[in-house]
Amino acid sequence: MDKEIMRFDKVTKRFGSKTALNDIDISIERGRIVGLLGPNGSGKTTFIKLANGLLHPDSGTIHIDDRLPGPETRAVVSYLPDRMYFADWMKVKDLAGMFEDFYSDFSRQKARDMMDKLGIDEKDRIKNMSKGTKEKLQLILVMSREAKLYLLDEPIGGVDPAARDFILKTIITNYSPESTVIISTHLIADVEKVLDEVVLLKEGQIIRRENVDRLREEEGRSVDQLFREMFAQG
Amino acid sequence: MEWKIDDRYPIWSQLSEQLAAFITGGQFEAGQRLPSVREFAADAGVNPNTMQRAMAELESLGLVVTNRTAGRAVTEDRDRIDQIRRTQVKKEVDIFLERMEALGFTRDEIMGVLREAITEEEDG
């Protein structure tokens, strides 16, 4: 098996006259938890959508698990979008059933175990849930797949510290050592401890890539500090 | 378990220090089987690869042994645990002395302050 789960070669993506990603080269190994960091509008969501095959590059090529993005790569990629996409009228069991139908690597038992811990019942209706519970449910479903690549777009958006801990623990406990997790976020301090490495995006370009422990060992700095320096205003 | 991670040092070395303290402090006894790396990682909220590295450090210190069938366990070697415990204490004392000296205290004054603090604690 190739060590690489994902590779971008000279990838550019434009929306009209705006260049969202500009000439991106990057290779990411299996078995890593990678933070995709940058301010709003730096290209994080575009990057994730390209990797998932929801968008196509204007130039350059993308390989996921040695293939071009398409139905086969989607079968090995588990994607958490940056917003809720479930219909309100659904019950939890409808959603779980949908995941079961769509993804052969989905484990309903695993999802049920995690829901039990949060007191979510399969008969519960989505529209009666709080925003935080919806976010957690969505993450549970995404992490209940045995994917090779998890793409999590802002998994800890606006949640409280307890929910954040639950989310990080869910990620740690459920990814396998052969799979890779890419987490996009602008809340660095919260996720730093779970990351192997970080990729910093600014205005559609990768301006820095760092191993979290190397940064601390050799420069005595946390990723949070680095981030503040790179993106300091003024 | 209570984990503390600050910004300055590599996470794995902070984890291995704290794991070592769990062992020398008796939270895990000699010979006791340990949770898996993943369970520890989830508990501390850290990357499993980082926890793995901390565990490897404990193995090289001789505090933890890997048994092919039973997974990881605390060493049965109580002398080794005691030895590490003494190193930990020495390190803490050195840091304390350094800080007190930086504040201008002499060794005698430090002894006096310590004795006072201990007596107060025993009385209180």
The closest alpha carbon to A11, from A50, A46, A47, A59, belongs to A59
In a domain, A207, yes or no: no
Q: Tell me the shortest Cα–Cα distance from B38 to chain A, in angstroms.
A: 6
Between chains, do B47 and A173 touch, taking CB under 8 Å as contact? no
Task: Considering only the beta carbons, identify the residue of A194, A216, A217 that sits closest to B46.
Answer: A194
| Number of domains into which chain A is organized | 1
Point out which residues pair with A233 in neighbouring strands: none
Q: Rounded to whole angstroms, how far apart are CA atoms A222 and A226?
A: 6
In a domain, A20, yes or no: no
Per-residue confidence in pLDDT tens, chain A, 234 aa? 678 999 999 999 999 999 999 999 999 999 999 999 998 889 999 999 999 999 999 999 999 999 999 889 999 999 999 887 777 889 999 999 999 999 999 999 999 999 998 899 999 999 999 888 888 899 999 999 999 999 999 988 666 777 788 888 888 988 888 899 999 988 887 788 999 999 999 999 999 999 998 888 888 888 888 888 888 764
In a domain, A122, yes or no: yes
Structure confidence at residue A220 (pLDDT)? 84
Structure confidence at residue B124 (pLDDT)? 63
Structure confidence at residue B69 (pLDDT)? 77
SS3 B50: helix
In a domain, A64, yes or no: no
ipTM above 0.90, yes or no: no
Q: Rounded to whole angstroms, how far apart are CA atoms A151 and A47?
A: 10
In a domain, A90, yes or no: yes
Q: What is the pLDDT of residues B44-97, one digit of tens each?
A: 999 999 999 999 999 999 999 998 777 899 999 999 999 999 999 999 999 999
A211 touches chain B (CB under 8 A): no
A177 touches chain B (CB under 8 A): yes
Q: Tell me the shortest Cα–Cα distance from B111 to chain A, in angstroms.
A: 34
Task: Considering only the beta carbons, identify the residue of B7, B44, B47 that sits closest to A33.
Answer: B47
Structure confidence at residue A92 (pLDDT)? 94
Closest residue, chain B, to A211 (C-alpha): B10
Range of the domain at A130: 85-146
In a domain, A198, yes or no: no
Q: Identify the residue among A113, A172, A211, A219 best suited for mutation to test binding to B, counting B beta carbons within 10 A and taking the highest.
A: A172
Q: Rounded to whole angstroms, how far apart are CA atoms A127 and A88?
A: 5
In a domain, A180, yes or no: no
Q: What share of chain A in percent tops pLDDT 90?
A: 64
Neighbours of A60 (CB within 10 A): 16
In a domain, A115, yes or no: yes
Q: What is the pLDDT of residues A171-202, one digit of tens each?
A: 898 888 889 999 998 888 778 899 999 999 99
For tokens 């529209």, what's the residue?
A: A127
> What are the Cα distances from residue B59, in Å, to A6, A16, A47, B34, B48?
33, 56, 40, 12, 16
A202 touches chain B (CB under 8 A): no
Structure confidence at residue A118 (pLDDT)? 87
Banded pLDDT at B9 (limits 50, 70, 90): confident
